[in-house]
Structure 1
Amino acid sequence: MRFMIIVKATKDSEAGVMPPENLLAEMASYHEELQKAGMLLEGSGLQPSAKGWRIRYSGDKRSVVDGPFAETKELIAGYTLIQAKSREEAMEWTRRFPNPTIDGVECEIEVRQLFELEDFAPGEAIERLRELDVCFEKQPPDASAV
């Protein structure tokens, strides 16, 4: 089971304020523990939305909307992707996630389970996705390599 830990954006992250060394150290320690446990798949911070864009759909038409985007509570500042044996194991690890804000103020992270190919009815499209091997069923890094 794969889960994404979603760190929500703040005014600081949207302003491009870099986290202090102590927060980076906490995050590094947490991610090292995940890696040693064989659970870490990926993790990264995201640049401010001013450097991004959205694609808006209207039927078959598409338009580009450049950032920044005004409502920070709808934005993501970073993520960590883990693989756990159960929802309970994922919850146990996410409770240990460091407070991601620069000054330790009240905030929240969001955790969402990812779909696996087995969650969908069998079919040609699912087999095509399985052959791509890019977005589903990734195995965690070898914990013994750490």
Structure 2
Amino acid sequence: MPRFLTMVRIDERNAPTEAPDPDFDARMGALFEEISKAGVMLDTAGLTPTSEGTRITWSDGKLGYTDGPFTESKEVVGGYSLTRCENKAEALEWAKRFLEVHPKNWTVTVEVREIVEG
């Protein structure tokens, strides 16, 4: 069964400053419980802000290091999930359900990509 990486993309510069509605954590917890019991979720986590990251570039045989924040990036990966699904349609359905848990005034994008095996 294929594995999929879902990258949660956010705009760090325009992230919501207000707390989510009081039921957000309960809705997200219920979804994570359901996806785990279904045997789909392999791993998930949020990521620290880009201000705490470092990019390493390989160019012309040399390494270059750039500390964050990465102001030239409009969207950054703020979290991820690793799932095992029957097919891409199932992976997209879980990603849709993840997005629907979020408050309507938030802007969150996910990118779902199948992992190349072997």
With the shorter chain as reference, the TM-score category is 0.7 to 0.9
Aligned residues: 116
Q: Aligned residue for 1:11?
A: 12
Q: Aligned residue for 1:94?
A: 95
Shift of 1:116: 0.7
Q: Aligned residue for 2:46?
A: 45
Q: Aligned residue for 2:57?
A: 56
Describe the SS at the equivalent of 2:74.
helix
- Trace 1:1-146 onto structure 2 (pairs within 5 A): 1-11=2-12, 20=20, 22-99=23-100, 104-117=105-118
Shift of 1:76: 0.3
Matched residue type, 1:93: W
- Out of 20-29 and 30-39, give the one that drifted further: 20-29
Cα distance change of structure 1 residues 22 and 108 upon mapping to structure 2, 3 Å threshold: same
Larger helix share, 1 or 2: 1
Structure number with the bigger relative contact order (C-alpha 8 A, sep ≥ 6) is 2
Identity across matched positions, percent: 34
Structure 1: tracts of 5 or more residues without a match? 118-146
Larger strand share, 1 or 2: 2
Q: TM-score, normalised by structure 2?
A: 0.80
Cα distance change of structure 1 residues 96 and 102 upon mapping to structure 2, 3 Å threshold: closer
Structure 2: tracts of 5 or more residues without a match? none
Please tell me whether the aligned partners of residues 27 and 98 of structure 1 are also in contact (alpha carbons under 8 angstroms).
no
Shift of 1:113: 0.9
Q: Give the superposed CA RMSD.
A: 2.7
